[in-house]
Amino acid sequence: MLQAASFRGGDKAPVQILTAKQQIELGSISTEIAFNRGVRIYEAGSPADFVFIVKEGVVKAFQDLPTGGERVLTFLFAGDVCGLAQDGRYVNSVKALTPTICFKIPIGALTGMFLRDSELELQFLIKMAHELREAQRQQIILTRQQAHARVAMFLRMLQLRDGKESPRIELAMSRRDIARYLGLSDEAVSRAAARLNREGVVAFPGRHVAQILDRSRFEQLALAA
């Protein structure tokens, strides 16, 4: 079933806000596409004919910088929407970090459906507002002075994302992607993780797993700003 445009109604678990009818409608104009790990879903600057909704997997939205570097703007998970356009062109590139399945929706069909179903349109508006809040939260993270505090906030964001606050956090993205998301060098992320580990706050049993050891100190780091 189409999980489009689900969003968080607070700091709680994601909320399904589309009616069954709307999901069927959306399903009727969308097609499912699978992407392998590392595949570009679309490229910045190319014609924006489709909106994508992530059904399964994790993807990153990023921009290539003139200097050859790369800035990761956001990570997208199941239920997230991407395909933001400006003047009919995508403004950033999107790449699958894990095997991913997306719903692919022609932008014309979607806006057409908006005209008929104002409620559906409102859900997308709400979804967009949520993404804006996330981007602003990320701005706050980026101004944190200490690298290990940034990493802690990042881990906390991932933890909150799945509602259930399990101490075990899956990291689908590479250290490099984290660094480019947090505005740090690869080395700084490594050192920050090492420090959190050394201080007994977070353990990293594997490169794609984090385990919160000292919840209160972790929260303290992640919340204080």
Partner DNA sequence: CGCTAGATTGATAAAGGTCAATCATTGTGG
Partner DNA sequence: CCACAATGATTGACCTTTATCAATCTAGCG
Binding-site partner at residue 84 among a second copy, DNA, none, CB < 5 to 8 Å by type? a second copy
Of 19, 31, 63, 146, which one interacts with a second copy (CB under 8 A)? 63
* Shortest spacing between CB 36 and a second copy, in angstroms: 26
Residue 138 interacts with a second copy (CB under 8 A)?
A: yes
The three-class DSSP label of residue 190 is helix
Give the residues across from 75 on adjacent strands. Answer: 60
* Cβ neighbours around 50 below 10 Å, total: 23
* Shortest spacing between CB 76 and a second copy, in angstroms: 13
What's the rounded Cα separation, in Å, for the pair 51 and 171?
A: 25
* Shortest spacing between CB 54 and a second copy, in angstroms: 17
Residue 119 interacts with a second copy (CB under 8 A)?
A: yes
Residue bearing tokens 């505005």: 183
Residues that bind DNA (CB under 7 A): 145-148, 174-176, 183-194, 204, 206-208
**Under a CB-based contact definition with an 8 Å cutoff, are residues 35 and 99 in contact?**
yes
**Under a CB-based contact definition with an 8 Å cutoff, are residues 33 and 102 in contact?**
yes
Of 92, 93, 100, 159, which one interacts with a second copy (CB under 8 A)? 92
What's the rounded Cα separation, in Å, for the pair 133 and 126?
A: 11
Binding-site partner at residue 23 among a second copy, DNA, none, CB < 5 to 8 Å by type? none
Binding-site partner at residue 206 among a second copy, DNA, none, CB < 5 to 8 Å by type? DNA
* Shortest spacing between CB 214 and a second copy, in angstroms: 19
Of 20, 24, 34, 122, which one interacts with a second copy (CB under 8 A)? 122
Residue 32 interacts with a second copy (CB under 8 A)?
A: no
**Under a CB-based contact definition with an 8 Å cutoff, are residues 96 and 39 in contact?**
yes
Per residue, the 3-state secondary structure of 49-87, as one string, reads CEEEEEEECCEEEEEECCCCCEEEEEEECCCCEECCEEC
* Shortest spacing between CB 117 and DNA, in angstroms: 42
Our CB check for DNA shows the closer of 102 and 189 to be: 189
Closest residue by Cα to residue 57 from 30, 35, 29: 35
Site for a second copy, residues 93 to 112, rule: CB under 8 A: 111
